[in-house]
A and B are shown apart, each in its own frame.
Chain A
Amino acid sequence: MQWRRMMALVSSLSLAVGLSCAQSKKEAQIVKTGAAAGTATIKGVVKFQGTPLKPRMISMKQDKKCDALHKGKPVPSDEFVLNSNGTLKWVLVYVKNPPKGNYKPPSKPVVLDQKGCHYTPHVFGIMVGQPLEIFNSDGFLHNVHFIGKKNPQFNQAHPTSAVKIRKQFKSPELPPDSYFKCDVHPWMKAWVGIFDHPFFTVSGDDGSFTISGLPAGTYEIEAWHEKLGKQTQKVTVKAGETKTITFTFKR
């Protein structure tokens, strides 16, 4: 079976490179380099057109400790981040109709950190069964409250940096249904896409994204932004091909 071959490649490569990367996105890149011979890659960029949303400034005055971390200055929200090249950060991009198969989740955990009274990363993807490690770099009380429709909710106080909270998800689920919030600091929010396949990623500081390791076929690629909604494109790729697409969110 194809997935077996692929996962064997992944694991041997991880060993060889000795990476300690925590992001599933990077796992996906490893898949790409290893599987370049027989599989296709979809690359792209998320652009923005129109009048940008006013960045919402969060005053943390109500919490002395958070406020002190930012020296009393309001902090821009992550909900709409426009990169300097006119692209959008924090867009979740994924294959809507993944190739059939039973994908083994990577054993490398995804890390969600609570730092400066913000969740880092603000948007991320994770595979079903893949470990999630939640850090508290702030070292004072947060509570990790996961809200979802298909996965059971959990709400756990996280008072100290000495403890890592470990979780796993059972069912695939997409934002806006699934997210993390902190009730102690209600402005804190992180969106999570939970997948039963490895074909997902999040746009970064240059608005670009890469999904690789796809077998030849026609795919629906979806991009989701928390304020601007969803867009879908159809792409057909051949074995070994790399295609470039562009999403453009307008407002």
Chain B
Amino acid sequence: MAHEVHAYSEVHHEPKSFWTKYIFSQDAKIIGIQYLITAFVMGFIAMVLSWLMRLQLGFPGKAFPWLEKLLPNAAQGGILNQDFYLATVTMHGTIMIFFFITAAGTGGFSNFLIPLQIGARDMAFPFVNMLSYWVYLAACIVLVASFFVPGGPAGGGWTMYPPLSSTKEALMGSGWGATLWLIAMALFIVSTTMGSLNYITTVLNLRTRGMTMGRLPLTVWALFITAILGLLSFPVLFAAAVMLLLDRHLGTSFFTPYLVVSDKHIPHEGGNPILWQHLFWFLAHPEVYIAILPSMGITSEVLATNARKPIFGYRMMVASIAAIAFLSFIVWGHHMFVSGMNPMLGTAFMTTTLLIAVPSAIKTFNWLTTLWGGNLRFTTAMLFAIGFVSTFVTGGLTGIFLGNPPIDIQLHDTYFVVAHFHFVMGVSAVFGLFAGVYHWFPKMFGRMINETLGKLHFWLTFIGVYFVFFPMHYLGFLGVPRRYYAFDQYEFIPQALVHNINVVISIAAFLVGAAQLLFVLNFLWSVFKGPKADRNPWKANTLEWQAPSPPPHGNWGDELPVVYRWPYDYSVPGAPEDFIPQTVPPTPARVRGDGGDGGQQR
């Protein structure tokens, strides 16, 4: 793709004003950073919500006078009320999954990394790209605004199952709150769709000379396939959200049958609540992979760079991403084994669901083998990447229970599920994002982030999340249902034991949350005061490390980089250094090591 080779700087002028450079920027790098910062702010809000939740679950019935001062309408008497508890559950899930992890992973890293790593000057459609961010920001604002409307935010769970979410009589948050939730989600989908189109087009059309698909770093592969997933699945939720809005406001009956809610007859006719679940999960299962794939790509990149080894089994890594992406479209029914869906479908969905464990296993073993025989350099990013592998395995394995419908009968909607998805797509996805931020921080801001604080952040978070989520497996064994405000009604729940577990989880959750403040401080301090970074502080091979830190507008000056090799030529025998950037042409005279030729030719 050899366009724009001549005198780029003469034709394109870098925007000079603060507004066009940092606010209404059309530069993918700035948009990426805008996405990341907004997403992390949203993530912080969601984390505070989880604190409120854990306050109730760990210390039920205890009155906290300061809480009443903080939330006069949601915590009368200093105790979080039931409606607001459900709102925190719902908003925590919604924000974490969509507005934090998805936005940071796809919006943040796709924008920052794709043009840089494929040797492009920018995205294919910079204006659409800017629009994508601003629509995302609008979605965030609409969602956060729902905390201030009558009835409070949506409370029907992040899955928003109707009729609970469609009937304002059924739940406080199903009035204004649910409307705003649906509008925010529709905006978010518009934003992701614009983003995804851009990422796909850019990867397909704007690769620099020599950057074949087979030489793309695994980050770009992951982000590319994530974009395809998003483009194909998100519009389905858009349609469903519009249908739900029609049910709510214009009296249609897509999802809502005739109801009698608390003595009040609500004359819908013939709608089917399970239809929503099909449409929702048709998005929301691929969404799980939309959340995790960018982190998988980041992990692959960070592990290889810091193990000073090629990623093991590049082709299999790409193939397994593709296999996961394909299978993710035909597994959605495993969320619905006991929903009233035809049980025949259960068998089909079980088969596809358990099959998805195969590519996941390949990835895990390939990461392990990447570490094997390496010369590991424990940067903060590397620690988070290793942490990703650990938590991904812990969470992935429990998926084998839940994908098997007879076992799912018992475990469905218990704390076992909470443990499962927090490990596999919550914690591990966030670990991937942290690994990415720590790894590319020098490139983003031209300064090094403080590694000591970063590592402290890692240790506290890594130990903390195991204390938070591992005990939940046992709550699941005991059959403790999720989304319960308190557990004191039931005799089958051993009260003292469950209470003690909940206290431990809550305290650990507060500490993990506090540890994130370290990250915020470190980030802010390092952006302004960190030591200046070199072009390539990690001695990495991918193209972005050949650009200045931070890269200028247009990334490459006048000449686009030319690629001669794959991105994983680390520790090539005979080479003078333990890394060979992608821009280094092959030396015909060099002696190739045993089994090392594979890397040279890609």
Contact = CB atoms under 8 A, between A and B. Distances in A.
Contact of A65 (B76, B81, B489, B491): B489
A231 interface: no
Given A64-B489, A162-B76, A163-B77, 12 more contacts: A63-B489, A65-B488, A145-B262, A155-B169, A157-B172, A159-B82, A160-B63, A160-B77, A162-B63, A162-B78, A163-B76, A181-B263
Given A64-B489, A155-B169, A147 B79 contact: no
Contact of B82 (A147, A153, A157, A163): A157
A157 B83 CA distance: 7
A157 B172 CA distance: 9
Interface residues of B, number: 17
B264 interface: yes
24 contacts: A64-B490, A64-B491, A65-B489, A141-B82, A145-B262, A147-B262, A147-B263, A153-B169, A153-B264, A155-B172, A157-B81, A157-B83, A157-B172, A159-B76, A159-B79, A159-B81, A159-B82, A160-B63, A160-B76, A160-B77, A162-B63, A162-B79, A163-B77, A181-B263
A220 interface: no
Interface string B260-279: 00111000000000000000
Contacts of A153: 169, 264
Given A65-B489, A162-B77, A163-B76, A155 B262 contact: yes
A92 B389 CA distance: 70
B262 A181 contact: yes
Contacts of A155: 169, 172, 262
Interface of B: 63, 76-79, 81-83, 169, 172, 262-264, 488-491
Contacts of A63: 489
Contacts of A205: none
Nearest to B77: A162
A162 B75 CA distance: 11
Interface in A122-168: 141, 145, 147, 153, 155, 157, 159-160, 162-163
Interface of A: 63-65, 141, 145, 147, 153, 155, 157, 159-160, 162-163, 181, 183
Given A159-B81, A159-B82, A147 B264 contact: yes
In the A-B complex, the 8 residue pairs with the closest CB atoms: A162-B77, A163-B76, A160-B77, A157-B82, A163-B77, A157-B81, A183-B262, A159-B81
Contacts of B81: 157, 159
Nearest to B261: A183
A166 to B, nearest CB: 12
Contacts of A64: 488-491
A59 to B, nearest CB: 16
B595 to A, nearest CB: 67
Nearest to B79: A160
A63 B488 CA distance: 11
A155 B171 CA distance: 9
A103 to B, nearest CB: 31
A192 to B, nearest CB: 15
Contacts of B172: 155, 157
Contacts of B169: 153, 155
Nearest to B68: A162
Nearest to A186: B262
Nearest to A63: B489
B151 to A, nearest CB: 10
A119 B217 CA distance: 68
A155 B78 CA distance: 20
Contacts of B82: 141, 157, 159
A16 to B, nearest CB: 36
A183 B63 CA distance: 24
A243 B519 CA distance: 81
Contacts of A147: 262-264
Contacts of A141: 82
